[in-house]
Structure 1
Amino acid sequence: MSTSSEQGKPRKLVLANQKGGVGKTATTLGLASAIAHAGQLRGTGGRVLVLDMDPQGNATSGVGVEVADGQRTVADLFDRSAQPGALADVVVASEWDLVDIAPSTRELASVEEAGDADLVWRLDAAFDGVDLSAYDAVLFDCPPSLGRLLFSALVAADEAVVVTEATKDSVKGVTEVEETIERVQRRPNPKLRLGGIVVSRRRNNGEHNFRENELRAAYGTIGDGSDGLVCRTVIPDLAARQDAHSAATPIHLFRGGKAIALQIAYTDLAAELGLIPIGAPA
């Protein structure tokens, strides 16, 4: 990966929620798969950069990358000695066509405990001078917390997308992430915006129907004539999601387990978020 004085301008999106198990990583990788797939069908573009901001490293393993001893990872970007533009030395090609990754390991957990006052600025500095012009999007897969890793990603990003399940705590969880976004907007990153709310792992039952309606009542739906934030597209809770992850295979190349429903959902979501053209085939 090269560095350049001319910055490319891909969209930089943070996928966030303070609760685990809501489908953040699956949504991050589903969007990456959709963008790459659309680029392959067009014959141009479609390259994606994923930053794995979670010490669990599920996005890293999900794209087939195994971190070797001594390999640079996202944790190195937070080191006091890290230079501006350090991201260029961390990004590697994944096993997925058109998808690169800045990988993560458990070492990243120490960032949440560090006391350095300037730590939350280091990730943003790691982008300085890095040529991102080859990418259509940069996606940050964040840990299930409202700590320094999420805050750092929000400082470096253009927008945040909250991923949530349709549960009784959905509105509360989204509100807490929204408050964190507003903190970042007030000073470190005034350009940051909340780009959408995605209902993930959606099951067709009374509870999920009620909770999704509750969420839409609180935040509105994108395109409903107001300033709605909840995406029309919902991501169904299907076994193919975990099966594709276990196989380190893009969902758009996975076969079986009703994968086609997820392929359509992630393609529709990518289009709704403006990451690929509307009407792109799944």
Structure 2
Amino acid sequence: MKEAKVFSLCNQKGGTGKTGVSVNLGVGLVNQGKKVLAVDSDPQGDLTTSLGWRDSEQLNITLATLMKEAIMEEPIHTKEAILHHPEGIDLLPADLELSAMEMSLVTTMSREYVLKRVIQDLKQDYDYILIDTAPSLGMITINALAAADGTIIPVQAQFLSAKGMTELVKTIGKIKRQINPSLEIEGIILTMADVRTNMTKTVAETIREQYGSALKIYRNVIPFAIAAAETSAEGKSIYTHAKGSKVAKAYEAFTKEVLQNAEKQRTQARSAQCR
């Protein structure tokens, strides 16, 4: 039976381009013939807004609703919450109610696995599920990592963004050891890069020197462009807003790289099962 590969997009530092990567990787996968669900696990609802749903308070069911149902051990109305974007990607939206879940989860049994229970039945319906996380390492983000097969780390091409990765990598390692043994770091993607500057080159070299021997650093780099920032306001992906642009081509190449890695992992897993 087919089961979706689940990726969390994670970095505790804000402004690293997590939501942009979630949108454009997701639509990029759709363009490659994959069925994709994006999950907004950030109470600010940036992914929900970026895909065109601006007034999240008007939504009847959001991720917070579903997590409450899971906590109360009630039927989880997951499919009723799914929104369909014109570019083919589906969305589980978020609103500010999700911020209250941090406190609710503290006293919940098996609190790290609530989000995993919410999306479990959906894994048969999709090829990929992408979970966009908040810029924090709180309980909701831990839920996202507990539910994921792998995490993709967007890193802005700035010194402080790269410096903050050490804590994140340690946290992911701790979650792998204690909560989710199957969790892997899929790779690090450099975002909002001005390839003309020495700063970008220095940050890229620093990341490769510090983490390249242990972690995958994606070959493709997402360049900075005003067009990429404009997509959120329009509720569209970069492929629709600026088709053929350098950013669109970079995201397309990055998407193919993610697919190649996923297929390689599946082949290795099948080989291991046959031994």
> Shorter-chain TM-score: which interval?
0.7 to 0.9
8 Å CA contact 2:39, 2:93 repeated in 1: yes
Q: Which residue of 2 aligns with 1:173?
A: 164
Does residue 211 of structure 1 match 2:203? yes
How far did residue 236 of structure 1 move? 0.5
- More displaced, 53-62 or 132-141? 132-141
* 2:41 alignment counterpart: 53
> Where in structure 2 are the equivalents of 1:193-232 lying within 5 Å?
193-204=184-195, 205-220=197-212, 227-232=214-219
Give the CA deviation at 1:81: 1.7
Aligned-partner SS, 1:194: strand
Q: 1:135 to 1:247 in 2, by over 3 A?
A: same
Which consecutive aligned stretches of 4+ in structure 1 deviate over 6 angstroms post-superposition? 275-278
User: What is the CA-CA distance between 1:151 and the residue it aligns to?
Assistant: 0.2
CA distance in 2, matches of 1:97, 1:207: 35
Q: Is the 8 A contact 2:156 2:162 kept in 1?
A: no
Paired residues, what number?
257
| DSSP-derived class of the 2:94 partner | coil
Per the alignment, do residues 60 and 241 of structure 1 end up closer, same or farther by CA in structure 2, a change over 3 Å counting? same
Taking the aligned partners of 2:87 and 2:177, their CA distance within structure 1 comes to: 38
Q: Which runs of 5+ in 2 are unaligned?
A: 264-275
Q: 1:74 aligns with which of 34, 55, 63?
A: 63
Please give the alpha-carbon distance, in whole angstroms, between the structure 2 residues aligned to 1:131 and 1:18: 27
Kindly provide the amino acid, as one letter, of the partner of residue 252 in structure 2: T
Alignment RMSD (CA, Å):
2.2
Percent pairwise identity? 27
1:243 aligns with 2:230: yes
Where does residue 271 of structure 2 map in the other structure? none
Aligned AA for 1:78? M
Task: Tell me the CA shift for residue 87 of structure 1.
Answer: 2.9
* Alignment gaps of 5+ in structure 1: 1-5, 40-45, 221-225
1:112 to 2:102 alignment:
yes
* Partner deviation per Cα, 1:228-269 (whole Å, 9 max, x = no partner): 42111111010111112211112111137xx61111111111
Q: Tell whether 2:145 aligns with 1:145.
A: no
68-77 vs 209-218, which deviates more? 68-77
* Contact residue 84 and residue 125 of structure 1 kept, 8 A: no
Report what 2:254 is aligned to: 269
SS of the equivalent of 2:137 reads coil
Q: Secondary structure at the match of 1:231?
A: coil
| Alignment deviations for residues 158-179 of structure 1 (CA, whole Å, 9 cap, x no partner) | 0001111122223432221111
Counting only pairs closer than 5 Å after superposition, residues 21-170 of structure 1 correspond to structure 2 as: 21-39=15-33, 46-65=34-53, 66-67=55-56, 69=58, 71-79=60-68, 80-83=71-74, 85-94=76-85, 96-114=86-104, 115-118=106-109, 119-128=111-120, 130-170=121-161
Which residue of structure 2 aligns with residue 189 of structure 1? 180
**Larger deviation, residues 236-245 vs 164-173:** 164-173
- Whole-Å separation in 2 of the counterparts to 1:87 and 1:183: 29
Structure showing the higher helix proportion among its residues: 2
- The aligned amino acid for 1:98 is G
Separation in structure 2 between the aligned mates of residue 121 and residue 93 of structure 1, nearest angstrom: 26
